Structure 1
């Protein structure tokens, strides 16, 4: 039951922003910003990072904040913001003589605020829970993209794009199976469930009694055991420690052990820093940079390739997280191998995006299969890596390390989004594929 509550709670992290982005084919028809609406949403979403920045500043200056109360307020604001879209998603406001979708953009801001806070506030909330619930948290975060995708597919969003004298006629409301207000009603109900799930997690005596109960078998190494592991594998001296203890004098033995402890501790710190850098890079690409160029890498291969890459990537995300219930990796060499696979797949995707609108194998099934396959690999392995790294850092370090990991994740995500926004809008590196001009 706790696993289900954690999943429901973590679904709230990005379901708001994901849901609005997925509904864009409908929203661009009714918004006065038209096809500029995605750019407005990106800007508003990134501006929400001011919230976590203020929170981090206050925390670093020893300002005590009630963590659970902050989460409760954010979830309530998100429910209200999404609820407004049920009735006002198509309403406009005149600002400076021009019409703007003010209510929609305000809703985007508060939904993005929750997403931006998820790394520095929601994830650290589980510092006192068993490590296994980190898995459930990431599964729920993955489902925040799957659930709106399923509803949008049922609704019929993105199924029809027609060309007429070099102009794309986007999806019209008459083509969908149900209007936008029911879609936003569904998202609001999910957010209400997330709010209820958090209230139960925070205030239920049965849940609170299970805090600080760690599963020693989730990873085979505790912090001390990890140091011993490094002595075996990197210093290659621990098998002789007992022999040294029996043959050397007590003073020499103490000095030898002290030297070994210092060297092992330095290796532990270096490994921890390396994991921080690795998860920062993962978030830079998976949450920031790569999603921005997905259309450039997939659309030249057709609308089917684009939809398959998005849909499959959304579904493989929670599946990869779910697999950690059985496949738990704590070996740094395996983590490095998985990172190398992601690097190869990421380089392929970025190269294809740079070669748009005429990438290689454009008219072949092999080209379609490769681009979809590499996006699936990226989504699955990066999701798995992020979960494993967060769980490993929490297990080998203090529980407060989750807050530091959250900062690294958020900085990586934000910087990736900003850099991609600049490259796409202010350079000629990425060129849009126009199916109507072909």
Structure 2
């Protein structure tokens, strides 16, 4: 487990300055394509200094509002902003608008400010957060911080940043005469792809900072509250009305029974939660497969075996994941009020993402077809 934490802390460290460092090494490809030209580096320097408003605000908040500003919430915010800014840069970095009668890279400069804000603020949030971990992980964090400059440089090197040839005017004798100029060669992949790489690095940093337990919580709630309820009728009705009503009723009964079992036999093991979540996910895959195959599922459409399997799958699916949700709630309750607030937020986020994912699949693209319990059995 110590090695896992070292890896996660290292990934967190890479998010500290990876965005700004990436911009600096990408300048040779940015400069020829923006109206600012080689004034862009000086603009970037000013932007970075302006972005120090972020650490200043955090410092003042700690001074005048002690105990009210938690580093965890700020770190989540800055990492989300950094990831989103990189993705927006990939799409809009070449967009310009007229300012003062001249074209300006407003999208690029604005998004660079947010990236600089993220990186500057990381200096006053990441390190204080490291106090909550054992001292031996601090060195690993600094290793990751060092990699935040090395990794973009290596990627830019592979991209071919700064590769050029010197050209001049050719004389009749074949010699170059007159002033020579640099002609940059085409990169192996685009600037937008490089920004997507930076966005991926920021997303990895965010994923490393999320507690394993919140990932489980969001996934479990996405399945139980958003994804599977949208296809319950498609998965059950091909087996008849009895299968649908039994699955709905017994699955609803499985929820309180699982919670009662959790109160009598609590188990806070993260490994067990992961195993149960995996089992619930496999059951969800079977249920989803039957919904996709509706109105002609594979197993004995009007026979008892298919009905039993779909009903048992729904009951076990709801029961296992209800137990997992209860155990996660008990773990987070021990962590205090802030952890429970995040618990509620993650529950709603997972449910929303699951529901928003399934709505277009079910209602817009019509990927699922309802089964008719009175229809003639399908031939396989």
TM-score by length of 1: 0.44
Does the CA contact (< 8 Å) of 1:93 and 1:99 recur in 2? yes
Does the CA contact (< 8 Å) of 2:75 and 2:122 recur in 1? no
* Cross-structure match for 2:193: 182
Higher helix residue share: 1
Secondary structure of the residue aligned to 1:9 is helix
Secondary structure of the residue aligned to 2:123 is helix
Higher relative contact order (CA 8 A, sep 6+): 1
Does the CA contact (< 8 Å) of 1:79 and 1:191 recur in 2? yes
* Cross-structure match for 1:86: 90
Change (3 A) 1:65 1:198: same
* Cross-structure match for 2:166: 162
How far does residue 69 in structure 1 lie from its aligned partner after superposition?
A: 0.7
Does the CA contact (< 8 Å) of 1:15 and 1:145 recur in 2? yes
Residues 249-282 of structure 1: per-residue CA shift (max 9 Å, x gap): xxxxxxxxxxxxxxxxxxxxxxxxxxxxxxxxxx
* Cross-structure match for 1:44: 47
Secondary structure of the residue aligned to 1:128 is coil
Q: Distance in 2 between matches of 1:206 and 1:53?
A: 41
Q: Distance in 1 between matches of 2:183 and 2:59?
A: 42
Residues 124-161 of structure 1: per-residue CA shift (max 9 Å, x gap): 10112111111111111111111111111111101225
How far does residue 201 in structure 1 lie from its aligned partner after superposition?
A: 6.9
Secondary structure of the residue aligned to 2:211 is helix
* Cross-structure match for 2:333: none
Match of 2:208 among 187, 192, 197: 197
TM-score by length of 2: 0.51
CA RMSD of aligned residues (A): 2.1
Residues 1:13 and 2:13 aligned together:
no
Match of 1:62 among 43, 65, 68: 65
Q: Distance in 1 between matches of 2:6 and 2:213?
A: 14
Match of 2:145 among 141, 165, 169: 141
How many pairs align? 205
Secondary structure of the residue aligned to 1:13 is coil
| Unaligned ranges ≥5, structure 1 | 208-438
- Runs in 1 of length 4+ with deviation above 3 angstroms? 163-168, 201-207
Residues 210-258 of structure 1: per-residue CA shift (max 9 Å, x gap): xxxxxxxxxxxxxxxxxxxxxxxxxxxxxxxxxxxxxxxxxxxxxxxxx
Does the CA contact (< 8 Å) of 1:29 and 1:170 recur in 2? no
Deviating more after overlay: 127-136 vs 162-171: 162-171
How far does residue 66 in structure 1 lie from its aligned partner after superposition?
A: 2.2
How far does residue 180 in structure 1 lie from its aligned partner after superposition?
A: 1.2
* Cross-structure match for 2:241: none
Residues 1:74 and 2:78 aligned together:
yes
Does the CA contact (< 8 Å) of 1:74 and 1:114 recur in 2? yes
